[in-house]
Amino acid sequence: MENKTIVITGGASGIGLAMVQLFARRNSRVYFLDINTDGEKVEASLKAEGLEAFFIPCNISNTKETEQVIGTIPGKIDVLINNAGISHVGKVENTSEEDFDRLFQVNVKGMFNCVKAALPKLKEGDGGSILNMASVAASIGIPDRFAYSMTKGAAHSMTLSIARDYVGDGIRCNCLSPGRVHTPFVDGFIAKNYPGQEKEMFENLSATQPIGRMAQPEEIAELAYFISSDKGSFMTGTDIPIDGGFLGLKM
Q: How far is CA 8 from CA 12, 77, 249, in A?
A: 10, 11, 31
Helix spans in 49-194 (H):
63-71, 97-103, 110-123, 146-166, 184-193
Picking from 81, 138, 87, the residue whose alpha carbon sits closest to that of residue 114 is 81
Phi, psi of 188 (to 5 degrees): -65, -40
- Using N-to-C axis directions, what is the helix angle for 63-71 and 110-123, rounded to 10°? 30
The strand ranges marked E within the chain are 5-9, 29-34, 53-57, 79-82, 128-133, 171-178, 239-242
Helix spans in 49-109 (H):
63-71, 97-103
Identify whether 225 is a catalytic site residue: no
Spot the catalytic one: 148, 166, 194, 225: 148
Which amino acid would we find at residue 132? Answer: N
Cα separation, 33 vs 50, whole angstroms: 20
| Alpha carbons within 13 A on the beta-carbon side of 12 | 16
**Dihedral sign for Cα atoms in the order 52, 25, 5, 69:** negative
**Residues recognised as catalytic:** 148
